[in-house]
C-alpha cells in the first residue's frame, strides 16, 4: 500500500485506550496520594482521569476512526485530536480550579499524569496503524529518504 491508500484506525482500541488508561492513571494517583497526603489530594486522580477520559472519548468519536482515510489525512486529524483533547481538558480543569479552588499542585500534577499516560497509549495506536499500512519497500524508501 502507499501513502495514498485509505485505511481506518482501530476504533475500539482507541476508545479503550482513551477511557481506560486515564482512569487507571487516576486510580494509581489515588492509591499513592491517599496514604501520603490524604483523601483531598487523592480524589484529584479520579477527577483528572475522568476529565481526560470524557474529552478523549469525545474527540475519538469526533474524528471518526472507523472511516477510511489516507495517512496524510490521519496525520492532520491526529494533530486536531490531540490538540483538541488537551485544550478542552485543560479548559475543564481551569473551570474546576476556579470554581472550587483546590490545591493547584496536586490538581495539575494528577492531570499531567493522566494526560501523559493517555497520550502515550493513544500514540501507540495511531502510529501502529500508520506503520502497518506501509509495505516493506516503502519502509526501506522512507528510511533512505526517498519517500
Query: What are the tens digits of pLDDT across the range 81-125?
Result: 999 999 999 999 999 999 988 888 899 999 999 999 999 999 999
Render pLDDT for 17-65 as a digit per residue (tens, 0 to 9): 999 999 999 999 999 999 998 888 899 999 999 999 999 999 999 999 9
Residue 135, burial from CB neighbour count under 10 angstroms (0-12, 13-18, 19+): exposed
CA distance 81 to 89: 12
CA distance 30 to 68: 39
pTM listed for this prediction: 0.82
Amino acid at each position: 500500500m502507499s501513502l495514498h491508500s485509505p485505511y481506518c484506525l482501530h476504533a475500539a482500541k482507541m476508545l479503550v485506550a482513551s477511557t481506560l488508561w486515564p482512569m487507571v492513571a487516576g486510580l494509581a494517583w489515588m492509591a499513592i496520594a491517599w496514604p501520603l497526603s490524604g483523601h483531598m489530594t487523592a480524589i484529584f486522580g479520579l477527577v483528572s482521569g475522568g476529565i481526560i477520559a470524557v474529552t478523549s472519548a469525545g474527540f475519538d468519536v469526533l474524528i471518526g476512526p472507523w472511516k477510511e482515510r489516507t495517512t496524510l489525512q490521519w496525520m492532520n486529524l491526529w494533530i486536531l485530536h490531540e490538540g483538541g483533547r488537551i485544550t478542552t481538558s485543560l479548559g475543564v480543569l481551569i473551570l474546576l480550579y476556579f470554581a472550587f479552588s483546590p490545591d493547584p499542585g496536586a490538581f495539575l500534577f494528577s492531570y499531567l499524569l493522566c494526560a501523559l499516560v493517555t497520550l502515550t497509549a493513544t500514540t501507540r495506536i495511531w502510529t501502529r496503524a500508520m506503520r502497518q499500512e506501509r509495505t516493506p519497500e516503502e519502509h526501506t524508501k522512507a528510511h533512505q529518504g526517498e519517500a
